Amino acid sequence: MTIASFLRGTLVAALTTAAAAVLPATAHADGGFITLTIYKAGWIIGGSGGSGVLNFHGRAYPLSTGGLDYGLVFGGSRTVLRGRVSNIWRPSDVEGVYGAAGAGLAVGRGVRGIVLTNQKGAVLELSGEQIGLLANVDLSGLAISMR
């Protein structure tokens, strides 16, 4: 056996061991379901606040939401969003700041759908109904925290 083939075999074994250690860890990220009720109002600068529930591994975790919008914001609305949370390890992984740029118009009732990601990698895929009078073209941030 030459030194080159010995090094090649050692390198392959090391890479296989490293891959085996990393791959199962990413495969165990889990998900749950979330419901958020968000109240939003503004004139140029807007604000939002609300509450929600994360259902994860058969338990319900209460959530609080809040945020700021900046751009063209006018009016007020109530939005109820429901959907899936993915790529979380524990309930606290949904905590964080979610940013979005968007535009919309709600007069009476409207449908809303959005996908958001926070700094921990949690992904929210939400859809629901928006009620109110709201026109917006803005940058917004939504902070979610556990109560």
Residue 6 lies in a domain: no
**Helix (H, G, I), strand (E, B), or coil: what is residue 88?**
strand
Q: What are phi and psi of 3, to 5 degrees?
A: -65, -40
Residue 8 lies in a domain: no
Which CATH number does the domain housing residue 111 bear?
A: 2.40.128
> 74 is in which domain, residue-wise?
30-146
Residue 113 lies in a domain: yes
Q: Which of 95, 84, 96, 81 lies closest to 30 in space, CA to CA?
A: 84
C-alpha to C-alpha distance for 104 and 132, rounded to whole angstroms: 12
Residue 119 lies in a domain: yes
Share of the chain above pLDDT 70, in %: 72
Per-residue pLDDT tens for 99-109? 766 566 666 77
- Are 42 and 75 contacting, i.e. CB atoms less than 8 angstroms apart? yes
Residue 81 lies in a domain: yes
Q: pTM of the entire structure?
A: 0.73
pLDDT for 79 beyond 70:
yes
pLDDT for 56 beyond 90:
yes
- Looking at the structure of the chain, the number of domains it has is 1
Q: So what's the pLDDT on residue 35?
A: 97
Residue 125 lies in a domain: yes
Residues facing 21 on adjacent strands: none
Residue 40 lies in a domain: yes
C-alpha to C-alpha distance for 125 and 118, rounded to whole angstroms: 12
